[in-house]
Structure 1
Amino acid sequence: MPDLLSVKNLKIEATSYPPGEPPKTVTLVEGVSFDVEKGKVLGLIGESGAGKSTIGLTALAYGRGGVRITGGEVKLNGEDLLKLSPAGIRKVRGCKVCYVAQSAAAAFNPAHRLGEQVIEASLKHGIMSRAEAEKRALYLFRVLGLPNPETFGQRYPHQVSGGQLQRAMTAMALCPNPELIVFDEPTTALDVTTQIDVLAAIKHAIEETHTAALYITHDLAVVAQITDDILVLRHGKMVEYGTVREIIEEPKQDYTRALVNVRGTRRDEAPDQSDTLLKVENITAGYSNGFKVLQDVSLHLPKGQTLAVVGESGSGKSTLARVITGLLPPQDGTISFDGKPLPKALKGRSNDELRRIQMIYQMADTAMNPRQTVRDIIGRPLTFYYGMRGARKTERVKELLDQIEMGGRFADRYPAELSGGQKQRIAIARALAAQPELILCDEPTSALDPLVAEGILKLLLKLQEETQVSYMFITHDIAIVRAIADSVAVMHRGKLVRFGPKSKVLSPPFDDYTDLLLKSVPEMEIGWLERVLATRRMESAGN
């Protein structure tokens, strides 16, 4: 079968503007070639900065943020997209080639109904009449397993869940009957129970419509379920290219083997979990609309240990962290720290109480001031809590940078000059600057590729051994729970459904929700998705 998409010797460049230096050209992608047949899916995989999204967007002849496609060819059905006029490119985008972004929430207009947005490109390009487009959208809503497909399109984006919105975006991409879809990390922001439904829907839709696809991700377990071939990238160059089976079961390159075997970190739970640092008792909390996000939650965290709080989006994990920090005073219940009750509201806590509990956020980008240097970011808590200034402050910043394995040479850099993993290390150093006894880690590795995330986990465990700091680690990644936790709390719809030492929580017999959660964790095994879905169907039939 002739190739639908053929990319040869691709070269992509951008201009860098180093402070105090003349602009210089930087090569982002060089010498990358691959082919995609009609009805087939190619996975682009690699760490952050490998060039996955940059390469994927060339299928739309697009270079974002000043990026330039300076060499090679990108042929769609034999036509080189890079030689098209602007008008010719506009005819391709949203018609022959469509794009599914990582954040569906950012891709939809909140002021318009979903149905209108799903059919918009089909009408704009004159591909079909309104009646035909609406019929096509209804068909796709059914194929993608969306609830009440006849009326789903009448909803606004804020009226559906994250997983439903991601499937609606897939429907929007499929509606014009494109020849190729570029999926850019479409399930990264989703919890595992939602992710499995979206993956199944995407795979079914591709099979039903015979559309070809590029699937961009940093998760090999995910890509193993949905693609036919895999292209492994690093630093803008091809590392390895082959079938799913070849890459997963017989990787030839060291880097590919490292990706396949990434989760090497594993720590046994502490045998004694009685020395409590944090105690949460009968906490009920919600927001101004009266809806209770947390209902009667009780748990504890021992000194120097790690409690993993797991559950799907909306289960109350991050709200629990906000209650503990005092950002959201609870409606009922108490929080004790080192045997003493904590004031419920942040404003009622002393500087020392604030210092002892710190937080590391999921998105280091949004948690840092882009106009401040690393020295300023790490130095602020040193001044606030300890009054440090001058040479002593400079020396302590260097000590913290050494502690997170980066070194003093990074002190004068800005966040934009750091990689994702480096930014998260700076966020850790900022938390450590206060010398806390408890750090709340809110999904700190979910936005990172596996190898970088592994490095962050190893760093956190090393720091815990050195300082005896306690962690409450909020995550939806069960592999992380198995790797670093001493105890585990499973939350579902604002309630605590399971809590105790890791060995007990992750061992049967399970409650229904924990059983579903554990069975939804993707495994790097060909055919895993089909087996899980078949088991679900059998269980549903049995009920």
Structure 2
Amino acid sequence: MIVNFTPVTPVVVVDNLQVSAINRGRETVLVSDIRFSVNKGEVLALIGESGSGKTTIAMALMGYARHGCQITDGRITVAGQDVRAMTPSALRQFRGNKIAYIAQSAASSFNPGIKIMDQVIEPVVIHHLMSRADAKAKAIDLFRELALPSPETIGDRYPHQVSGGQLQRLMTAMALMGDPQVIILDEPTTALDVTTQVEVLKAFRRVVTQRGMTAIYVSHDLAVVAQMADQIMVLQQGKIVEHGATSELLHHAREPYTHQLMNAAQHQSRPSSWNRHNDDVQPLLEVRDLAVGYGPRNPEGIPKIRIVEAINLQLWRGQAIGIIGESGSGKTTLAHAIAGLNPAWCGHLLFDDHYISNDLAARRPKEMQQIQYVFQMADTALNPAHTIRDILSRPLKHFHQLQGAALDKEILDLLALVKLPTSLLHRKPASLSGGQKQRVNLARALAARPDLIICDEVTSALDTVVAAAILDLIAELRRKLHLSVLFISHDMHAIRAVCDDIIVMKQGRVMTQIATEDYNKPSSHLYFERLKRAVPELRQGWLDEHQETLKAELYN
């Protein structure tokens, strides 16, 4: 018997890819010797820490390199077309038609002044692939396929009128409008809370599976990748460290760097070393019946939009409390209210056994010095025009009137405290890595010599290896400086790594508070159990199990 065998032609083939930065005739190689192929219906994950070349490789598949960079060597074939041989006009038709891109931040990718529907259908309308009416009908079908609420009318909203998870799925609909053969997902769930992340992951996988699409998934989170990818390529400093089937790599990884990524993805909680001192009669911070809102107020002084209400908590000296909840639960609003950045309309704040104003502008200098805020995005928190020395000098001069040799010594001590080299002193933030910028962000807060630091999603924009190092640093600073920490996050691993207690928020209210050491014990609070179950585990099949558990709960 003669069996006809038709060899499978890969949809994506990359051979000896090299991308370089070109500056005044000097070439710096960013990624080199990259080789892989992906078949129809397969998902390849590119994983590694910031600067490893993941996004650079993914962008090269579309024939694109960042400003100042060039694809300097190699062959790239996507959907049977030689990408490097295409003219600019051909590339414009190619992008969105044969290959589509889903960015990390949907919020910054949508135009806030244009309705969602107009933006979703724009790629196919401007390329004359279909009429506006047909494009709208197709978009609504995609909204329904991606399990978006009110698919017929959600396109009439503006981007700020939908949640982060919904906006991420709407960007997916935009990418699918041209029926591409290849889709690139670039860190699409990094900024989402755990429950939203799970729903978005399910939507991504359902679309990729049902449509038989080929996908490139860029991520730094191995636990997420384990749910999506058929094969994983581990990258470091622009080179391939390890590449293989997902099951093989998760269970039999050979390289130390791959094991480092796996350990970072499973960052373990540490036993709490905090004990309340007998002489601490009063908590360092006490929040009493706090309520925060926005917009015009009625005659009773109640704002039109109420975000958090009836918040009560106590934070003792040297203690770390984590506040966790889904996007929109009021975590950051509460943190801003405690810092005085968004004054509460009701309730009281006591700090160090005395009342402090809800409004930062009315607080005394010492009260401002005692509570310091570490913002989520170091990129926007640090002045890009100032050197690191200037940034660290300002709080030292303002709060402690240091100058001359005393100022120089304190700056060097701060750099040593956050484990940064002195060579960074005269550089500006743009020349630092994400982890280095976040350490400077932390050092600036510590320069005031505070009693309490409020850390607001300080690891959400960092890769797992760098984030683990920042979490270790915060835990070490607590011990050294006897700091109190209020840690805001949607990352349960981060909360457990740093905090003694966990406060769970939902829809502006505190649902429950538990000791971190009791995390693995069954809780009577269903919402907290739901959050715990939504944390991805580093094993294949977890997402399917999570889906089955939810179905069982729904029918019981």
Q: Which category describes the TM-score, using the shorter chain as reference length?
A: over 0.9
The corresponding residue for 1:351 is: 365
Show the 5 A alignment for 1:172-321: 172-262=174-264, 263-270=266-273, 272-273=275-276, 275=280, 276-289=283-296, 290-321=304-335
Q: Tell me if the contact between 1:38 and 1:211 (Cα under 8 Å) persists in the aligned partners.
A: yes
SS of the aligned residue for 1:365 comes to helix
Q: Does 1:8 align with 2:15?
A: yes
Amino acid at match of 1:11: Q
Q: CA deviation at 1:403?
A: 1.3
Q: CA deviation at 1:271?
A: 6.5
Q: Tell me if the contact between 1:11 and 1:31 (Cα under 8 Å) persists in the aligned partners.
A: yes
Q: Does 1:400 align with 2:414?
A: yes
CA distance in 1, matches of 2:392, 2:27: 32
CA distance in 2, matches of 1:11, 1:510: 55
Q: Tell me if the contact between 1:265 and 1:454 (Cα under 8 Å) persists in the aligned partners.
A: no
CA distance in 1, matches of 2:137, 2:361: 55
Show the 5 A alignment for 1:329-348: 329-348=343-362
The corresponding residue for 2:453 is: 439
CA distance in 2, matches of 1:82, 1:134: 33
The corresponding residue for 2:389 is: 375
Q: CA deviation at 1:23?
A: 6.8
SS of the aligned residue for 2:73 comes to strand
Amino acid at match of 2:270: R
Q: Tell me if the contact between 1:269 and 1:501 (Cα under 8 Å) persists in the aligned partners.
A: no
Q: Tell me if the contact between 1:265 and 1:458 (Cα under 8 Å) persists in the aligned partners.
A: no
CA distance in 1, matches of 2:408, 2:191: 37
The corresponding residue for 1:127 is: 129
Greater Cα offset, 72-81 or 422-431:
72-81
- Residue in structure 2 matching 1:413, options 427, 438, 442: 427
- Residue in structure 2 matching 1:86, options 88, 93, 103: 88
Q: CA deviation at 1:513?
A: 1.4
Q: Tell me if the contact between 2:339 and 2:371 (Cα under 8 Å) persists in the aligned partners.
A: yes
The corresponding residue for 1:57 is: 59
SS of the aligned residue for 2:531 comes to helix
Residue correspondences, number: 537
The corresponding residue for 1:150 is: 152
Q: CA deviation at 1:131?
A: 4.1
Q: Does 1:517 align with 2:524?
A: no
- Residue in structure 2 matching 1:105, options 104, 107, 111: 107
Q: Does 1:47 align with 2:54?
A: no
Amino acid at match of 1:512: L
Amino acid at match of 1:277: L
Show the 5 A alignment for 1:468-483: 468-483=482-497
Amino acid at match of 1:224: A
Q: Tell me if the contact between 2:267 and 2:493 (Cα under 8 Å) persists in the aligned partners.
A: no
Amino acid at match of 1:541: Y
Q: CA deviation at 1:143?
A: 1.4
TM-score, L = length of structure 2? 0.94
- Residue in structure 1 matching 2:70, options 51, 68, 71: 68
Q: CA deviation at 1:149?
A: 1.5
Q: Structure 1 369/518 Cα, relative in aligned 2: closer, same or farther at 3 Å?
A: same
Q: Tell me if the contact between 2:184 and 2:216 (Cα under 8 Å) persists in the aligned partners.
A: yes
CA distance in 2, matches of 1:265, 1:518: 14
CA distance in 2, matches of 1:505, 1:41: 34
CA distance in 2, matches of 1:509, 1:182: 39
> Any idea what the Cα deviations from partners look like across 1:249-306, whole Å, max 9, x if unmatched?
1111110011112245532135644742111111011112521111100011111121
> Any idea what the Cα deviations from partners look like across 1:359-417, whole Å, max 9, x if unmatched?
11111110011111111111110000111112211111011111111132221111111
Q: Does 1:364 align with 2:378?
A: yes
Q: Tell me if the contact between 1:270 and 1:305 (Cα under 8 Å) persists in the aligned partners.
A: no
CA distance in 2, matches of 1:23, 1:345: 54
Amino acid at match of 1:229: Q
Q: Does 1:391 align with 2:408?
A: no
Amino acid at match of 2:288: E
CA distance in 2, matches of 1:134, 1:482: 45
CA distance in 2, matches of 1:409, 1:118: 46
Identity of aligned residues (%): 43
CA distance in 2, matches of 1:349, 1:509: 39
CA distance in 1, matches of 2:315, 2:26: 51
Q: CA deviation at 1:506?
A: 5.4
Stretches of structure 1 that go unaligned for 5 or more consecutive residues are: 17-21
Root-mean-square deviation over aligned CA pairs = 1.5
Q: Tell me if the contact between 1:499 and 1:505 (Cα under 8 Å) persists in the aligned partners.
A: no
Stretches of structure 2 that go unaligned for 5 or more consecutive residues are: 1-7, 297-303
Q: CA deviation at 1:538?
A: 1.6
